[in-house]
Chain A
Amino acid sequence: MIPGSFEYHRPSSVQEAVGLLAKLGDDGRAIAGGHSLIPMMKLRLAKPAHLVDLGGIADLKGIRADGSDIVIGAMTTQHELIGSSLLESKLPILRETSLQVADPQVRYMGTLGGNVANGDPGNDMPAVMLCLGATYHVMGKSGERRIAAREFYQGAYFTAIEGGDLLTAVRIPVPPAGHGYAYEKLKRKIGDYATAAAAVVLTMSGGRVANCSIGLTNVAETPLWAEEAAKILNGSALDAATVKRAVAAAEAITAPAADARGPAAYRTKMAGVMLTRALARAKSKARG
């Protein structure tokens, strides 16, 4: 399988890349790790006339603390997320999630920016970003915009990204020390997209939930932020009856497609099971 012909561009700065993307319009496509785009090009489902390779832009790399946030460059790979000691201490849910993305070879190439910007409902990071309340830095013709992850996803492969825009970084507020977290993913085999998955971050105080946030993967056209479910859990001791009510609220907002991973009703139920497990594991990790 050989992709269609295209012209190759390798800008060395964000400004140059944004200029190219703006000029090329619908004919241009940014390529990050390429592990979603190149397979699509081989199948001729994507036929960009111009590829703008982001691999040569040093400014898109790296993980840094910025006040109470952590800012991760869009071209940071899953492999680099896994190896980061800063993330391991401040945002361990990212490492846990990255380890469940695809396989080792894909993680060496696949980037956080590509994972969150592509808009594929099967990608794992978007739900984690909704859960964490992340913000995306998007550079366009008229300068930089900051878009909340919770407002970014509009449909399968449709996002707030417009022609000429480039997602340059992901900004994540660091959860309080002692928070509990878990990303529970059901998949048929290593490397598969989720049948359903749930991300949970919570803080406990005196044995009760002080704050809780939940994201769901691949059970709708977009990642889901389960706000109602989290509200039900706040103030509770995560007792079985409350968890059951919250899980029902989370299941209620799902609208999965039926595919090789199972019928829609099954995937909704599995989202509930993943959430139940993620809550239990997050609680066991939380202090307070």
Chain B
Amino acid sequence: MAKSQVAMKVNGATVEALVEPRTLLIHFLREELRLTGPHIGCETSHCGACTVDLNGKSVKSCTIFAVQANGADIRTIEGMANADGTLHALQEGFREMHGLQCGFCTPGMITRAYRLLQENNNPSEEEIRFGIAGNLCRCTGYQNIVRAIQYAAAKLNGVPFQEAAE
């Protein structure tokens, strides 16, 4: 099968490659670009562990072909930290609020939460829960993931993080 030439921007750097049309974006990212932050979880578009940011949308990279991402601007968890190397507010929030246990879902959670906060910089708890409904976590019960995103929203908005009363 003829390969296709693709060019895309990944975490700010332009990459070019020849891909088989059937190569899924997640396989391209992990195996060609060695970006193993996006994880392969369910492979059936349910779990969200493979989520990346693609042209301003949260996309499950197991459900799009690399050839379809030709020309796209992609950000993965590897491109999430601040330019000076410090952690992004979301990464810091997940650390401070214990938003992960095994960590398998975390790259997808953080890249999804990144887009959620771009679209709504001060989401309610309900909006956060609805907004991350495409990402499954089997450890935390989500409580601390929600708190981590609230922490990040507060930090990005320059206001002190206040825990909701129990």
Contact = CB atoms under 8 A, between A and B. Distances in A.
Interface of A: 1-8, 34-35, 38-39, 41-42, 51, 53, 55, 79, 102-106, 108-109, 190-191
Given A39-B45, A104-B133, A191-B46, A5 B68 contact: no
Contacts of A104: 58, 112, 116, 130-134
A105 B134 contact: yes
B157 to A, nearest CB: 21
Contact of B24 (A2, A51, A106): A2
A79 B67 CA distance: 22
Nearest to A107: B134
Contacts, number: 78
A1 B43 contact: yes
Contacts of B57: 79, 108-109
Contacts of A4: 22
User: Main SS of chain A's interface residues?
Assistant: mixed
Interface of B: 1-2, 4, 20-22, 24, 27, 43-46, 48, 51, 57-60, 63-65, 67-68, 112, 116, 130-134
Contacts of B131: 104
Contact of B64 (A38, A103, A190, A191): A38
Interface-centre pick from B2, B4, B63 (highest chain A CB count, 10 A): B63
A5 B21 contact: yes
A8 B59 contact: no
A103 B133 contact: yes
Contacts of A55: 68
B43 A42 contact: yes
A51 B44 contact: no
Nearest to B43: A1
A105 B22 contact: no
A53 B70 CA distance: 12
A190 B24 contact: no
A161 B51 CA distance: 33
B89 to A, nearest CB: 20
B152 to A, nearest CB: 17
